[in-house]
């Protein structure tokens, strides 16, 4: 399936894993950005990745817990960068070009490199 195919956004796109064109795992589709509104066409604009995107999907008290554990960053993946949608979403560019590894890179400063076989 491509982004232009008939698709059910909740059961066939939301919460799917994302892989970039290098096969690297980039996160999960946490929400979907739409442009338009009632009375106008509503278009798929971008995928939202990151715990900050949970804000519309859970109560505020749960969001505070999530923010404590996982932060509140959001990364936007424009639909033009999506190549296929199936059991996972595959992108047509590297994840780092979209800013998808920033949190991992930040956490990496805490982990020394060495000692592992």
Partner 1 sequence: MRLSDLQDKKVRGLDGETLGRVHEVHCDKGIVTAIMCGPGSFIERLTAKKKGRRIPWECVRKVTDGEVVVTPDPPQRKAKGSTGSRTRQRTPRSSGRPSKR
Partner 2 sequence: MNPLELTLGIMTAVGGFVDISELVFAAKAGSTFGYALIWVFAISTIGIIVFSEMSGRVAATAKQPVFNLMRHRLGLKLGLVTLAASVIANLITCAAELGGVALVLNYLTGAPYMLMAVATALAFVLSIWVLPFQWIERTYGLLGLFMIVFAAALIAIHPPWHQIAGGFVPHVPAGLSTKELLKFGYFVVAIVSAVMFPYEVYFYSSGGIEEDWGPKQLLTNRMTAILGMGLGSLLAISILSNSAQLFGPANVDPSLPGTAALEAAIPFGKWGLILALLGMFFAIAGAAVETCLANAYSIAQFFGWIWGRHKKPWEAPRFTITWIVLFALALLIVLTGVDVMVLVEFAILFSILVLPLTYLPLLLLAEDKKYMREYVNGPVSKTLGWFYFGVITLAAVAALPLYFLTSGGNG
Which DSSP state fits 23?
S
- Which parts of 73-92 interact with partner 2 (CB under 8 A)? 87-88
Answer with the entry of partner 2, partner 1, none that 7 interacts with (C-beta below 5 to 8 A by kind): partner 1
Restricted to residues 30-49, the positions that interact with partner 2 (CB under 8 A) are 30, 49
Question: Partners of 34 in the beta sheet?
Answer: 44
When CB distances are held under 5 to 8 angstroms depending on the partner's kind, the choice from partner 1, partner 2, none that residue 9 binds is partner 1
> How long a stretch of residues is the chain?
117
Using CA atoms of 108, 114, 115, 117 in order, give the dihedral in degrees to the nearest 10.
Answer: 90
Question: Which one of partner 1, partner 2, none is in contact with 43 (Cβ closer than 5 to 8 A by kind)?
Answer: partner 1
In the structure encoding, which two tokens stand for residue 39, read together?
């009375």
Choice between 24 and 76, CB closer to partner 1: 76
3-state SS, one letter per residue, for 72-117: CCCEEEEHHHEEEECCCEEECCCHHHHCCCHHHHHHHCCCCCCCCC
Least Cβ distance, residue 37 to partner 2 (angstroms):
23
- Out of 23, 39, 59, 114, the only residue in the binding site for partner 1 (CB under 8 A) is 39
Q: Minimum distance from CB of 39 to partner 1 (Å)?
A: 7
């Amino acid at each position: 399936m491509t982004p232009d195919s008939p698709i059910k956004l909740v059961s066939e796109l939301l919460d799917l894993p994302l892989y970039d064109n290098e096969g690297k795992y980039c996160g999960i589709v946490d929400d979907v950005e739409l442009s338009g509104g009632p009375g106008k066409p509503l278009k798929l604009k971008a995928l939202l990745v990151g715990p900050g995107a949970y804000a519309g999907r859970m109560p505020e008290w749960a969001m505070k817990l999530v923010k404590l554990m996982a932060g509140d960053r959001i990364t936007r993946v424009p639909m033009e960068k999506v190549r296929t949608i199936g059991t996972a979403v595959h992108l047509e560019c590297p994840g780092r070009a979209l800013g998808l590894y920033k949190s991992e890179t930040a956490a990496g400063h805490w982990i020394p490199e060495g000692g592992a076989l």
